Amino acid sequence: MGTSGSGKTTLGRRLSGALGLPFIELDAINWQAGWYDLNQNDPAEFIRRVETALAPEAWVSDGNYGIVRKHIWSRATDLVWLDYDRSVIMPRVIGRSVARALDRKELWPGTGNREEWRQWFTDKDHPIRWAWRTHNDRRRRLEITLGEPGLGHLRIHRLRHPREAEGLVAALKTENISSSRP
């Protein structure tokens, strides 16, 4: 978990590779061709697709979609919260948006969705604007949510700086190797 640009997908893929587990990118499930948003426009289908993706015994997932949170968290063992300051987030989300706008690569295969410069100015929920506008409120709400009862089964890893991610990947990989030995 973390705000736009925090590195959820990047870290998720690293953890997936290190642990040898499938990676579930929630944005890839949510965003359909033409920027059709299942989370908003067909929540039942979004939930169904996420539940299907969660079928394996173990996996790594990224994302912040509240509508599927209980489905994911009820099966998760660990939750990694990339709780970085705006001074870390904003250069990342801006850099990512610039790179995407320049390379024009499709964001999720088969969707045709690409970063467009004009989105920065016309879409109030563009990741750059979203990250700036929601950073503090999302942090406060997640702190409250993570303190709720019923989450005792989750080991919560709250990372405050990107350099902490490498140590977490190494620790979880070591733990995974140790637990898989006979």
Q: Is the pLDDT of residue 156 over 90?
A: yes
Q: Is the pLDDT of residue 179 over 70?
A: no
Confidence (pLDDT) at 181: 47
70-77 long-range Cβ contacts below 8 angstroms, 24+ apart:
71/47, 73/151, 73/154, 76/154, 77/153, 77/154, 77/155
The whole-angstrom separation of Cα 154 and Cα 78 is 5
Tokens of 121: 């100015």
Q: Which one-letter amino acid corresponds to residue 7?
A: G
The whole-number average pLDDT for the span 101-123 is: 92
Confidence (pLDDT) at 180: 60
Q: Is the pLDDT of residue 177 over 80?
A: no
What does the angle CA 157 – CA 162 – CA 166 come to, to the nearest 5 degrees? Answer: 70
The whole-number average pLDDT for the span 12-39 is: 96
Reduce the DSSP state of residue 181 to 3 states and report it.
Answer: coil
Q: Is the pLDDT of residue 158 over 70?
A: yes
Q: Is the pLDDT of residue 83 over 80?
A: yes
The whole-angstrom separation of Cα 61 and Cα 12 is 6
Q: Which one-letter amino acid corresponds to residue 8?
A: K
The whole-number average pLDDT for the span 169-174 is: 91
Q: Where are the domains of the chain?
A: 8-180
CATH code reported for the domain at 8-180: 3.40.50
Q: Is the pLDDT of residue 23 over 90?
A: yes
Confidence (pLDDT) at 175: 86
Full DSSP string of 50-113: HHHHT-SSS-EEE---HHHHHHHHTT-SEEEEE---HHHHHHHHHHHHHHHHHH---SSTTS--
The whole-angstrom separation of Cα 29 and Cα 68 is 12
Asked whether the whole model's pTM tops 0.85, one would answer yes
- What percent of the chain stands above pLDDT 70? 97
